[in-house]
Homo-oligomer: A and B are copies of this chain.
Amino acid sequence: SNTLRIAVLPGDGIGTEVTAATLAVLDPLAKRHGIGLAFEELRAGAFCYRDTGTAMSEETFASAAKADAILLGAMGWPEIRAADGTEIAPQLDLRFRLNLYAGVRPFRALPGVPVALADPRAREMDLVIVRESTEGLFHSRDRGTVTHDMAEETLRITRATTERLARFSFDLARRRAERRGRKGTVTLVDKANVFRAFAFMRAIFAETAPAYPDVAHATHYVDAMALDLVRKPWAFDVLPTENMFGDILSDLGAGLIGGMGFAPSADIGDTHAVFQPAHGTAPDIAGQGLANPTATILSAAMMLDWLAGRGAGQGFADAAAELDAAVDAAFAGGLRTPDIGGRDGTAAAARAVAEKIGAT
């Protein structure tokens, strides 16, 4: 089969470490499945901004946009900020400019990794937050108005994006239902009891639902969802929501399954997609080889699966499934990263996963 081009943006801090670890796993995986992956490393992020004056050059953006998929580490650094005091986050620009409206963030417990909740059913948690990633409150990024006495931001919900988010969510629930062998449920998370914009969002989801009679459809207020994610996370399936709500709820979800080191993500649009761990650059442990690469490795599995869905071939789907299984097998086999109290650093974790490839 053809070779696909993957733009790799390691970014800052532990971003570079988890990216290197992931590439070390992808290489043997690609060989084994006979799939062609060519990695093109590109520079962007906070240190790039400090050194060059721009967080991501137009040339870099163009190269990334031309690639078949984008794999990203993490970007940002507390001490390096824009003039308005906000952090350097070119990953947000990618979401906006490439129209990656669906921020897919799956959460499930890995074998042997302790979960936060006492209730044993928490290990059965298997849900996906679909964070709308191009509008909502984040529409206001770089647009907030500030005077001496007051500051304002604008939350925007559009019909066009909400319709696509709804269809994406129902399609995802349908595919998951096939894999899991039970009916899927899309639960829109909003605050329609107080805000017209969310009543608007709710109405658009209600218009989309009838086209998916095989998928159940529900709604939930965002505050009640924060409660229920702590009380019964095993009760949910696909949870589309507004950008800021999704940002908050997905960190909560990560907390439930052992932390950000276990939370992969994909920012998906109609033509492009970026795959990256949900975590940040972790200045406190950067450069020490301690970062858990699992979230990035699982994000790479999502990338292979997405490429398969775009016609890259069965080898990609098989490789994605095997990579997921290898991560499970590594943790089931005793892999313990420092974030869960273990001693296996970034390279050791990557080795443990690579060893399970072809062995599961």
Q: Interface on A for B, CB 8 Å cutoff?
A: 76, 84-87, 89, 92, 114-119, 137-138, 140-141, 144-146, 148-160, 191-197, 199-203, 222-224, 226-231, 244-245, 247-252, 254-256, 259-260
- Name the B residues within 8 Å of A201 (CB-CB): 151
- Name the B residues within 8 Å of A86 (CB-CB): 192-196, 199
CB distance from A237 to the nearest CB of B (A): 19
A146 touches B196 (CB 8 A): yes
CB distance from A284 to the nearest CB of B (A): 12
A sample of 10 inter-chain contacts (CB < 8 A) reads A84-B196, A85-B196, A144-B196, A150-B159, A151-B196, A153-B155, A227-B251, A227-B260, A230-B255, A231-B259
- Name the B residues within 8 Å of A222 (CB-CB): 247-248
Copies in the complex: 2
In the bound complex, CA of A85 to CA of B201 (Å): 12
B76 touches A193 (CB 8 A): yes
A153 touches B197 (CB 8 A): yes
CB distance from A8 to the nearest CB of B (A): 24
In the bound complex, CA of A296 to CA of B32 (Å): 62
CB distance from A150 to the nearest CB of B (A): 5
A252 touches B251 (CB 8 A): no
* Among all A-B residue pairs, the 6 with the closest Cβ atoms: A230-B255, A144-B196, A151-B197, A85-B199, A87-B193, A151-B200
B151 touches A156 (CB 8 A): yes
A152 touches B259 (CB 8 A): no
B227 touches A141 (CB 8 A): no
B89 touches A194 (CB 8 A): yes
- Name the B residues within 8 Å of A119 (CB-CB): 116
B154 touches A195 (CB 8 A): no
Q: In the complex, which of the residues B117, B193, B196, B259 contacts A89, with contact meaning CB atoms closer than 8 Å?
A: B193
B259 touches A197 (CB 8 A): no
In the bound complex, CA of A249 to CA of B248 (Å): 9
In the bound complex, CA of A76 to CA of B221 (Å): 14
- Name the B residues within 8 Å of A199 (CB-CB): 84-86, 146
- Name the B residues within 8 Å of A195 (CB-CB): 86, 137, 140-141, 144, 153
- Name the B residues within 8 Å of A137 (CB-CB): 137, 155, 195
B138 touches A194 (CB 8 A): yes
Q: In the complex, which of the residues B92, B118, B193, B260 contacts A117, with contact meaning CB atoms closer than 8 Å?
A: B118
Max chain B CB contacts within 10 Å: which of A119, A152, A222, A254?
Answer: A152
In the bound complex, CA of A92 to CA of B191 (Å): 14
In the bound complex, CA of A250 to CA of B222 (Å): 11
B226 touches A116 (CB 8 A): no
